Structures are given as structure tokens and as C-alpha cells.
Chain A
Amino acid sequence: MIVDTNVNISRWPFRRLAGDETPDLVARLRQRNVVQAWAGSFDGILHKDIGGVNARLAVECNTYGKGFLAPFGSINPKLPDWREDLRRCAQDHRMPGIRLHPNYHGYELKDPVFAELLHMAAASGLIVQLVVSMEDIRTQHPLMRVPPVDLSALAEVVKSQPSTRLILLNWWPALREQRIAPLADAGELYFDLSMVEGIEGVARLEEQLPPERVLFGSNFPLFYFEAALLKVQESGLPETRKTMLFEGNARRILPPKAA
């Protein structure tokens, strides 16, 4: 069984994807032995009506994936009255977490608003997912070139917000291996494996981190789901570690009842 911590509903702006209709997404994930998927919305990257994006996300997850899709609403702290979006995610939609795209929303992690957002999320019991990149900068649309989030300030911010539960998604292009361990030491940080690369990349990642800090994330449907799955197979991890990676680590962060 798999808990996939990194999927998106709705439409990727630059191409149609197999699985970009929610019922189809759910069917494809179930077919691949996923028992729960933490879902953001592609719409949250560029839309300015974030309240509408999150309301649709909640409805789609409830309608087509009740108990299966766990909605993670988008928060853009550069929009007016973003704190109300956060309140709705926590109180109205009862979401388990939120998803951030600082590079698309135009702020740096040293901006005080990021620390405030982490503080408020923790106070509301929300998990925070920080999406470091969406695609290889070399292949982006020429009018839409967005570099990965600069993570150089992250450790300091996380140290100042010790109640934060933060998951980095699609982080590989910004970090590679050299700065992972210090980040993990800074607080309760987790790392998904969607963009991890290199021969036996997942096994090498687990040498850098406590094994409970690595989460299964596919970046589906933007990426082929099988990439994450086969990377675990290539890693040669023992069965106990695979079970933690596929399900146990995510369940510890988000127990089944809370989802």
C-alpha cells in the first residue's frame, strides 16, 4: 500500500495530462495501489482567486475521493487577505495541510511573511508542503521561466518556528545531496522523492537523512507515477524501509483519522 504525498488535481497550464480529471486521477492512483493521496491543485500556482481554487479542491476531493484524496489548499501570502484563505483551509474545509509555491507567488523565504505563515499554519495544526520547483528550468515555456525556490534561508526560518511540520516537494533541483542533512537537523522537515535522481538515488538519500524523513511522492500526473515507484525498486532498500517509505512515514505525520 502507498500513501502518495505529492499529487495535483485540475489542469497543468502547458499540456493536457492523463489523469487531469479527478475521477480519472483517483482511478489511476487506486490501480497503482495508492490508498491515500495528498492533493494540491495546479490552479493554485497561477490563479489569483485562491479561495475559489481551494473550495473546488475540497469539493473535488470529497466528491471523487472521500477518504482517499487529502486536500492541501494553496496559500499565496502575497495576495490581499491571505490569512482568510488559511483560516478557510483549516476551519471551513478542514484540510490537513497547505501547499506553497514561493517561486510562482513571488516571495523569498527570508521574507517575514513566510515565517508568519509557518507560525499560523502550525497554530492551526496544518502540515505545510513547500513546492521547490515544478519542472526543469531548461524545458520551461520561454514566457514562463521560474527558477526553483532558493532554500538558503530555510534552516534559519524553520529553527525560529519549531512547531512547524514542513515537507519539501520537488526539491532535488535546488538541493542535491550536499545541504540536505543540515536542513533536516533544523526542524521537523521531510523530503519527498519525486525528483530524486541518480543511480540508486533513493538509497543514497536515505544515507543522508533519518529514514523516517523520506516520503513517497510521485508528482503525478505531471510525472509518470511509475518513476517514483521504480526508483524505490532500484534502491534495493530492505522491506521494512520500503514499507516506511511507501506508507509508514506519511501515516505518522497524518494518521488515517486525521485525513
Chain B
Amino acid sequence: MFTRRSLLNSLVAGGASALLGGSRRLYAAQTAVRRFRIWDNHSHLHSAPGDTPEARMEVLIRCADRLGIERIVLSQGYSADLHPTRDQLREENDRVLRAVRRFPERAYGSVYLSPSFLDFSLQEFDRCVRDGPMVGIGELEADMRCNAPEMDPIVERAISMKAPILQHTWLKADGNLPGESTPYDLVELARRHPGANFICAHTGGDWERGIRIIRSTRNICAGIAGFDPTAGVVEMAVRELGPERVVYGSDVGGRSFASQLAKVMGADIPDSAKELVLGGNLRRLLTPALRAKGYQA
């Protein structure tokens, strides 16, 4: 049976054996991650090895263990398809449900929807979140920008369950794909729904612009997953948004847990801010949904 104490004990034991391996100074830096309760808001099964969702999830959990990551929020299943059909959406959500069921005390599911199929998406929300075990929406990454009016009923469903929404955003120097959302689109949506909580996935990629775009819209947090571990991103985000609006995530399996975790572990910010970014903020965002389902944070 998993408990937070048993996890910490196993991590401490792992760190100690590493220390006894003879590289005392080396592992002093690596085991620094163990000081924090780390929750990852942005993970997928795609690009992970394994023939089944359960097998892929075992790889994710194995790596999370090595880095002291306590829980992960999983979405999208195997696919990174920007034009999912109804059947694909349902199939990917089923994969996430299977993976989470394998590790119910380490992972939560987040439902994959598309405003292109609004009625279907609302039914899928009800199946997976209202009546199922999932606790959030997203990563939403479909062929319609998120400022579209079709997103409004989806956001209202999220508000009804107090579930956060993880919205894909990019600002690509070579141009976004058709239908790909930007932080500007998310700001439009978030201002129409001040009662909803949004995570701006990738902080728009071009984070120096992304942080400025979302700065004045306080129901948007910056999600730092899924772009290069460029030094300075977390320092700027904490400075401009405050530590309570920056959320760690990885975007595994396309990315590693490690490179994205480094953005926080390597940042010149106080430990109190790291604690919020690494997990405190996500726990706060998820608490209503977790409580509603009887999950322990």
C-alpha cells in the first residue's frame, strides 16, 4: 500500500545507497529534489515504451521514483494528434483510465476533449470526470483555438466540478499550426470565465512573451512543461506572476521528467517558492476535485 511516508522512506533509502556507492558529493546535488513534494501536472503515455497503457505507466512511475516525483496528472494517452476524432478521444481517455487504475495512488487522469465535437466532449467530460475518476480537463490540443465560443460550455462544466483546465499554447517563430492556441487565445477564454482555473501549457513556448501575455489574467497559471530547460524561465515567471501562479509539469514521454524538473531545481528562487511550483500550487488547484472524489492530497 502506497503512502507518502513509504515513498519518502524508499527515496531516502535509495539516496543512501547511492551515497554509499562512493560518489558522495555528486549525489548531494541530485538528492536535493527529495526535499520537496513534487506533483507533475502534465504527462502523457506517448513516446514511452510499452505495448499497453499499464506497461507504459510502469515506465513513467519507475522514472518518477528515481526523481522523487510523488504524483503525476496524465492525459491524452498515446496520441499527440492535433485532429483527433471522437473515437480517438474516447480511446485515449480509456488508455489514461487504464494507466491510472494501475497506479491509483500515484496518478490522476485528466480528460482529453475537443471543442470541434462539443456534444461528444460534454458527454466525455461527464463519463470521465463527473461520473468517473478523472480530476481535470486537458491537455486540450485540438484543431480549434481555445478562444472559440465552443469552449464556453466545456469551461462551464469544469467550473461545476472545480476542475482545472490544462490548455496547450505555443507562439512559434515559424508560425503556429492551424487551430493551435496561443496564450492570447487563452487570455480571451479566461477573461470570459473568471471562475475557472487555467494552466497555460508550455507558457507559450516563447516564455518571455508568454509570461507577459498572461500576467494580468490572474486565473491563468504558467505551466512550465514541454520546452527546453532554458535558464531564467522560472525566475522570470516567479518574478512577474508570483510563485503561486507557476506550476511544474514535464510533458513526458516526449520530454523527460528530469529536464523540466531542472527548471525549478536550478532556479535562483527561494525554497518556499520551489515548494509551491513543484507541487503546492497544483495541490491547491486540484483540492476541490480531489475532495469531491474522496482522494487524499
The interface of chain A, by Cβ under 8 A from chain B, is 1-2, 15-19, 32-33, 135-142, 145, 195, 197-201, 220-227, 229-231, 233-234, 236, 239, 242-243, 246
A-contacting 9-mer, from B57-65, B124-132, B145-153, B279-287: B57-65
Given contacts A198-B253, A234-B258, contact A227 B206 (CB under 8 A): no
CB pair B256 A231 closer than 8 Å = yes
CB contacts (< 8 Å) of B242 on chain A: these are none
List 16 extra interface pairs beyond A1-B25, A33-B29, CB under 8 A: A18-B268, A140-B173, A197-B256, A198-B252, A199-B48, A199-B59, A223-B229, A223-B230, A224-B229, A224-B230, A224-B265, A227-B229, A230-B258, A230-B261, A231-B258, A246-B26
| Chain A contact residues, majority secondary structure | loop
- B113 CB to closest chain A CB (Å) equals 25
Residues 165 to 190 of chain B near chain A (Cβ within 8 Å): 170, 172-174
Q: Write the B211-255 contact mask toward A (1 if CB under 8 angstroms, else 0).
A: 000000000000000011111100100000000000000001111
Given contacts A18-B231, A138-B174, contact A224 B253 (CB under 8 A): no
Q: Write the B39-68 contact mask toward A (1 if CB under 8 angstroms, else 0).
A: 000000001110000000001101100110
CB pair A226 B227 closer than 8 Å = no
Measured in the bound complex, the distance between the Cα atoms of B67 and A121 in whole Å is 41
B160 at the interface (CB under 8 A from A): no
Measured in the bound complex, the distance between the Cα atoms of B48 and A197 in whole Å is 12
CB-CB nearest 3 A-B residue pairs: A224-B266, A230-B258, A226-B262
CB pair B25 A233 closer than 8 Å = no
Given contacts A33-B25, A199-B257, contact A225 B63 (CB under 8 A): no
What are 9 A-B contacts defined by CB distance under 8 Å?
A: A18-B268, A145-B174, A222-B230, A230-B30, A230-B258, A233-B67, A233-B258, A234-B258, A239-B23
Instruction: Name the residue among B28, B208, B232, B253 with the largest chain A CB count within 10 angstroms.
Output: B232
- A68 CB to closest chain B CB (Å) equals 15
CB pair A234 B256 closer than 8 Å = yes
CB contacts (< 8 Å) of A229 on chain B: these are 29-30, 262
CB contacts (< 8 Å) of A199 on chain B: these are 47-49, 59-60, 63, 252-253, 256-257
B84 at the interface (CB under 8 A from A): no
B21 at the interface (CB under 8 A from A): yes
CB contacts (< 8 Å) of B62 on chain A: these are 236
Measured in the bound complex, the distance between the Cα atoms of B256 and A214 in whole Å is 18
CB contacts (< 8 Å) of B48 on chain A: these are 199
CB pair B173 A198 closer than 8 Å = no
CB pair A230 B33 closer than 8 Å = yes
B116 at the interface (CB under 8 A from A): no
Question: For residue B226, which residue of chain A has the nearest CB?
Answer: A197
- A63 CB to closest chain B CB (Å) equals 24
Question: For residue B56, which residue of chain A has the nearest CB?
Answer: A199
The 8 Å CB contact of B231, one of A2, A17, A145, is A17
CB pair A136 B228 closer than 8 Å = yes
Measured in the bound complex, the distance between the Cα atoms of B172 and A1 in whole Å is 38
Given contacts A18-B232, A199-B47, A199-B253, contact A142 B173 (CB under 8 A): yes
CB contacts (< 8 Å) of A17 on chain B: these are 231-232
The 8 Å CB contact of A200, one of B63, B231, B268, is B63
Measured in the bound complex, the distance between the Cα atoms of B47 and A220 in whole Å is 27
Measured in the bound complex, the distance between the Cα atoms of B21 and A239 in whole Å is 8
The 8 Å CB contact of A224, one of B66, B174, B227, B267, is B267
